[in-house]
């Protein structure tokens, strides 16, 4: 009989580590969000915009997922918040075990919110639970308004979708109403926010949305 359980084992191992990560977050009263999106869609630029606002009232830590280099972690470290760079060495997504190792270092700090920036990729990362409580997807207007239909996984099981680089709308052929309608069909309840990190559009809304989620979760924990 041939051995056929390799794939299942990959997911089982990942899911076990994800559950341990989630238990750790819950024990420490931390909210964790997984930030997903294609390469160059503006994930780190969004963090550079919202982290300084969030840091006014929350203790924020960041895990940066990339194939190579510490460039994104350096951008986050410049904001003076704890950050760990997770390198996949060519892997196209983060997994819960790598996140677990990153948390050993990040959890030296007292935190309210952990943001995990996943590897830039609109496909694979969506398949891997990292132990997060929430997911936020990024779609930049330079990628095209057909992407929600073409990459549905990125938009289905998420709580918010950020349409980024909206300052470029006059220069690209991107029908924002069509993109929003397609996202809505895939996901009737996600918050859909128009943003531009470069011009500061919608940044307060993203920060408010996240702050409210963290506060709601913390008041649930505090309730008798």
Token code pair at residue 184: 């809505």
Report in angstroms how near the CB of residue 169 gets to ligand GTP at its nearest: 10
The reply on whether position 164 binds ligand GTP by CB under 6 A is yes
CA distance 72 to 85: 8
Pairing of strands 83-87, 31-37: unpaired
Strand-pairing partners, residue 117, are: 35, 64
Stretch that binds ligand GTP, among 19-27, 76-84, 145-153, 162-170 (CB under 6 A): 162-170
**Interacting partner of 164 out of Mg ion, ligand GTP, none (Cβ under 5 to 8 A depending on kind):** ligand GTP
Interacting residues with ligand GTP between 77 and 136 (CB under 6 A): 120
CB closer to ligand GTP out of 22 and 33: 33
- CA dihedral 115→121→123→125, nearest 10 degrees, is -30
Residue 140 in the binding site for Mg ion (CB under 5 A) = no
Cβ 42 vs Cβ 142: under 8 Å: no
Which segment (41-49, 108-116, 128-136, 202-210) binds ligand GTP by CB under 6 A? 41-49
Check: CB of residue 4 under 8 Å from CB of residue 87.
no
Q: Of 64 and 217, which CB lies nearer to ligand GTP in the complex structure?
A: 64
31 binds, among ligand GTP, Mg ion, none (CB under 5 to 8 A by kind): none
Q: Which of 14, 95, 137, 196 binds ligand GTP (CB under 6 A)?
A: 196
Of 38, 72, 83, 183, which one interacts with Mg ion (CB under 5 A)?
72
Which listed range, 4-12, 100-108, 150-158, 163-171, lies at the site for ligand GTP (CB under 6 A)? 163-171
Alpha helices, DSSP H, located in the chain: 6-27, 43-54, 71-77, 96-106, 147-150, 153-156, 176-186, 203-222
């Amino acid at each position: 009989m041939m051995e056929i359980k390799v794939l299942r084992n990959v997911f089982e191992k990942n899911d076990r580590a994800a559950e341990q990560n989630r238990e750790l977050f819950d024990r420490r009263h931390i909210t964790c969000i997984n930030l997903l999106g294609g390469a160059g869609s503006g994930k780190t630029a969004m963090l550079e915009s919202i982290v300084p606002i969030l840091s006014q009232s929350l203790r924020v830590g960041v895990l940066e997922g990339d194939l190579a280099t510490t460039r994104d972690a350096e951008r986050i470290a410049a904001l003076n918040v704890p950050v760990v760079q997770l390198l996949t060495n060519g892997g196209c997504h983060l997994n819960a075990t790598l996140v677990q190792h990153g948390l050993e270092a990040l959890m030296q700090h007292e935190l309210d919110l952990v943001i995990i920036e996943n590897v830039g990729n609109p496909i694979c990362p969506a398949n891997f639970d990292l132990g997060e409580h929430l997911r936020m997807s990024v779609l930049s207007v330079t990628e095209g308004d057909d992407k929600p239909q073409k990459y549905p996984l990125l938009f289905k099981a998420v709580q918010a979708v950020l349409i980024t680089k909206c300052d470029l709308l006059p220069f690209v052929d991107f029908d924002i109403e069509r993109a929003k309608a397609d996202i809505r069909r895939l996901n009737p309840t996600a918050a859909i926010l128009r943003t531009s990190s470069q011009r500061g559009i919608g940044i307060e809304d993203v920060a408010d949305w996240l702050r409210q989620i963290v506060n709601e979760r913390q008041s649930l924990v505090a309730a008798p």
